[in-house]
Structures are given as structure tokens and as C-alpha cells.
Amino acid sequence: MLQYISASVVYPVSSPPVENGVIALEEDGTVHAVLHVEQAKEQGIENIKYYEGFLVPGLINTHCHLELSHLFGKIAEQTGLQGFVQQVIKYRDSSEELILEAMQKADREMLENGIVAVGDISNQLVSRAIKSGSRLYYHTFIETLGFNPAQAKTIFEKALKMKEEFTPLKASIVPHAPYSISKELFAAIKDYSLKEDNLLSMHNQETEDENLFFQFNQGAFLKLYEFLGLDISFFSATGKSSLQSVVEELPGSKVLLVHNTLTSAEDIRYATSVHDGLYWCLCPNANQYIENRLPDVQMLAEANLKITLGTDSLASNHQLSILAEMKTLQENFNLSFETLLEWATCNGAAYLGIEEQYGTLEKGKRPGINLVEFAPEGKISGKTSVRRII
Ligand SMILES: [Zn+2]
């Protein structure tokens, strides 16, 4: 038997919004149809449950680090990326019990905030049990880190082993960032990605020093390497931005570039000319937390890129909520609710390769359905809320 729900506006995302639209649902939450209210009347449909607000598909968080959830409230804000990394190293160790408890809470928080699927960076196996028992879909990015060429082989083999240990959960092997991966390690990931279906993701241009390091071998990163005890005498500046220096090392049909705070129009021209499968993830609240700076989102939006949203971790955010990321973007840039919703749903689903089930309200999909309340005319404010109703 079908059940019917309706609201002030229904946003299928794959097609224009429907005022007073009616969603017909199968018992398990699969969308059967999205109807105009007149169609529903013509068909004699009764027993429609009406909500005040918007009905939207489940939200997709394409960048999180579940295993850092226990660092919530521990990291000082606006210290810059180097200060952030140093603090994470300092506070990361904790008892497994506390780490598990914090991840469980974070997983529940995402569910309550209408998130249905997560792209999650992992350096360890510790999140496996939480992900296995979760109602959310997780794709785990096994993150490699290693600027010392001599260690590339060992690091890659360790990642391969971890990927096996995550089975049957979906996982792929990814580089951390341009400045933390040796040419040799990039090459190992590239070889693997050309042979296997290996969804790629990489932190990109989060801070000005990342470009400075690649262009001139200068800036605060030199201090960071010193702090980490790394001899980087083998490195020579490329004279190009970090993205332009490494984008050719990222093969595969889809690559997610995360943050893009310092990405220029020229970087975009270059990167999109050599790779046609790039997705661009924005994590504005984490950018404000760490660097107090935002990417040029207007420029990114106008470049017609495939943009997705992410929360990053509770080490650099006050909450795990895609709606809160949409709010920050709407406050700082000229972006419509519909554009933000596309970034928050179907683009993330397409990137994660789960668009057959998630991302839009279309017949045959079971995307999860959220009610967004208190957003008059699509204006997201502190009063706006989201909750999952299906
Ligand atoms: Zn991150």
C-alpha cells in the first residue's frame, strides 16, 4: 500500500520544485511518484499527511573524519592549518572506549541532521564497527600520508591491508594532500587506481602556504616539516600551484578535491582541462574554524563545477550538519536554496556512485526524506531545522 506525504514545497532536485507537491511512497520508503496536488485530487488520493515546510532528499556529507570525533571542543580555533595539525597530533591519542563513544554519537548526530550517506576519511580501522552497524551509507577513504619517498611502498601496502580489513564496507585508497605525499606514493596510488575501481579524494589548497610551498619552497610548511622531523631536502619547487603540480597524478573517473580555499580561476582552468571527472567539496564551517577564511565560492559556482558539501570532522566543526554548511554559504555568497540543495544531495550521490538509491526524489529511489522547517522563501537562518521523516 502506498502512503502519501505533502508539504508547502517538495524539492525532487532532479526536476523543479513542486508547490504543495505530494510524494507517493512504498512501504519501505521507496519513491513511487511525485505528484502535483491537482493530480493527487484527480486520482482521488486521500489520507495525505501534510507538513509545513520543505520535503527534500536525504543529505550527503562527502567529507568527514569520524575517527576524530573525540576531539570535539578540544582544538583552538583560527590557528591556521599548521597549528591545527599540531594540535590534532597532540590530542589525538585517547582510550578506544572514548573514541568509539564519540564516533557513535557523531554517527547519530548525522542521522538526526538528515544525512544519509558519508564519505569518510580514515587513517585507522577503529571506525569499522560503528560504520557496520550504522543506518548511514559509508564510503571509507583509506588515507595515506608520507612525504618520505623511501617509505612509499610500506605505506601503500599498509593501506591495501586496511582496505581488506574494511571489507565488505566500501573503501578506496586516497592521498591526504599534495604536500604530504611523495611522488613515489602518488605513483603507487595512480597505478592502483588505473587497475581498480578506486574512488579518489584529496584535501586541496586549504591554506596559502600550500601553494607557497609548491611554487617557491617557502612558507609555514617548512616549519611544519621541521616539527614533524621530516627531512625534505629532496623536494624542489615546481613553480606552479599545488593543484597544478599534482592533478595529473590523480587518474580515475572521479576525484573529489576538498576545501579549495585558495583555488584560483587559473587552477580550475588547468585542472578541468586535464581531468574531466573532478568534483569540488566545500567545508565552509571547517574553513572558518581553522583558517577563518572561505573559498571564492561565487567563482567556483560560476565555473559550473560539480560541487559537493562536507562537514569535515568534529575536530574542526561545532556540528556535523550539512544544513549548517548550506547556511554559512548562503550567508556569505549569493546562492539560492535550490543550488545549495543540489550540492547537498544529487552531486554528492553522483560522486559516491550511489545515485541509483540516493540524491533525488525519483521513482524507484529510496533516498531518505527530510523535512526542512522555518526557511521562508528558501532563506536558511539560525531558526531553520532539518529532520528525517522517512
Ligand atoms: Zn579533512
* Interval between CA 281 and ligand 1 midpoint (Å): 10
For the residues 259-276, what does the mean pLDDT come to? 97
* Interval between CA 176 and ligand 1 midpoint (Å): 8
* Interval between CA 229 and ligand 1 midpoint (Å): 22
Residue extent(s) of CATH 3.20.20.140 domains in the chain: 59-358
* Interval between CA 63 and ligand 1 midpoint (Å): 6
The pLDDT value given to residue 231: 86
**Residues measured by CB to lie within 5 Å of ligand 1, the ion:** 312
Indicate if the pLDDT at residue 162 is higher than 90. yes
Residues 6+ apart with CB under 8 A from 129: 100
* Interval between CA 258 and ligand 1 midpoint (Å): 7
* Interval between CA 186 and ligand 1 midpoint (Å): 18
* Interval between CA 203 and ligand 1 midpoint (Å): 6
For the residues 144-161, what does the mean pLDDT come to? 95
Residue extent(s) of CATH 2.30.40.10 domains in the chain: 1-57+359-390
The third-level CATH classification (topology) of the domain covering 59-358 is TIM Barrel (3.20.20)
Give the residue from 315, 328, 244 showing the smallest Cα distance to 282.
328
Q: At what angle do helices 152-166 and 183-195 cross, to 10 degrees?
A: 40
Which residue blocks in the chain are alpha helix, DSSP H?
37-42, 80-91, 96-112, 128-132, 152-166, 183-195, 208-216, 221-227, 242-246, 265-274, 284-290, 297-302, 322-332, 337-344, 346-352
The pLDDT value given to residue 227: 86
* Interval between CA 236 and ligand 1 midpoint (Å): 26
* Interval between CA 16 and ligand 1 midpoint (Å): 33
* Interval between CA 183 and ligand 1 midpoint (Å): 21
The pLDDT value given to residue 318: 97
Indicate if the pLDDT at residue 357 is higher than 90. yes
The pLDDT value given to residue 297: 98
The pLDDT value given to residue 246: 97
* Interval between CA 77 and ligand 1 midpoint (Å): 15
Cβ–Cβ under 8 Å, residues 22 and 12: no
Confidence of residue 228 (pLDDT cuts 50, 70, 90): confident
Cβ–Cβ under 8 Å, residues 115 and 320: yes
Check residue 220 and report its DSSP letter. T
User: Rounded to whole angstroms, how far apart are CA atoms 331 and 381?
Assistant: 9
* Interval between CA 58 and ligand 1 midpoint (Å): 22
The pLDDT value given to residue 321: 98
Indicate if the pLDDT at residue 145 is higher than 90. yes
For the residues 85-110, what does the mean pLDDT come to? 94
Confidence of residue 375 (pLDDT cuts 50, 70, 90): very high
* Interval between CA 111 and ligand 1 midpoint (Å): 20
The pLDDT value given to residue 229: 87
The pLDDT value given to residue 364: 98
CATH 1.20.1440.230 fits 1-57+359-390, yes or no: no
- pLDDT tens by residue, 9-45: 999 999 999 999 999 999 999 999 999 999 999 999 9
| Mean pLDDT of all residues belonging to the chain | 96
